[in-house]
Amino acid sequence: MTATVMSAYGPWGIVAGGSDGVGVAFAHGTASRGINVVLVARRVPVLEAAADDIRARYGVEVRTVALDLSAAGALAELERVTSDLEVGLLVYNAGADNHSVAFLDKDLDAHLELVHRNCTAVLEAAYRFGAPMVARGRGAVVLVTSGAAWAGGATLAAYGATKAFDLILAESLWAEWRGSGVDVLGLVLGRTDTPSHRRMRDAGGESYGGELADPYDVAEQALTHLGDGPTWIHGSANPTGGSPFGALSRRDAVLAMSRGASAGKKAGVER
């Protein structure tokens, strides 16, 4: 495994979901390497505060784009407002689920919004911003996924399914683009100390038992190993390895994931 020199990808990076948590950590890591950053998120005050901080710290250009990535036309709009930039890095980090409940206890519209944000929008982002990278022969795409992708589990039906989509998409694009000069990394997160994770735990009245990964450690590791795809499992002794469920049958893996969900201890699941 070799450290990646990001300047080879191009002068601009886009971080979708870049206002806090892992997203803003990616933005800091990108800017610290001298790459200009486009921050994309819904909340304008948080977005602008993050941008001001990054400009002051690293002296790079920062452009903010206030978008709801689950809305129709959001990715076309993002492509339009960045059409004057050479984007060499795309980090798609949006898509946490702050409310973990049984499948039928959540509104259908909430499920559909999650699927659009975590599947349709991710695919569209990879297509719109990956195509110019492939044409130029340089670039990198990071799709942030989750340990929920490894197997189904109680209260994880829609979320886990979307994260499995992201993981397979990342691995497939890596296979297609690996000879084109474009690196693709599916970043699998475990339990990480992010605002969305805290909101989910607080809503469920759960304690913060166990160690949570630092978002800046997560981002730094991923940015250093962009060229070591297709998959990077943060916190694993074998980060380029396979599922932590190993030789377990699919049934046993699902039961293990479900027990973790019931206990509020989703080992390997970042939400």
The b/e string for 95-116 (b: 16+ C-beta within 10 A; e otherwise) is bbbeebeeeeebeeeebeebbb
Q: Is the dihedral of CA 69, 74, 78, 79 positive or negative?
A: positive
Q: Which of 9, 58, 92, 159 is catalytic?
A: 159
Coil, helix or strand at residue 28: helix
DSSP-derived 3-state class of residue 191: coil
For the chain, the straight-line distance linking the first and the last C-alpha, in angstroms and rounded, comes to 28
Look at residues 107, 118, 113, 71 and name the one whose alpha carbon lies nearest to residue 271. 118
- Rounded to whole angstroms, the Cα distance separating 102 from 104 reads 6
Q: How far, CA to CA in Å, does 52 sit from each of 18, 59, 123, 175, 254? A: 13, 10, 30, 37, 44
- Catalytic status, residue 159: yes
| Catalytically active residues, by annotation | 159
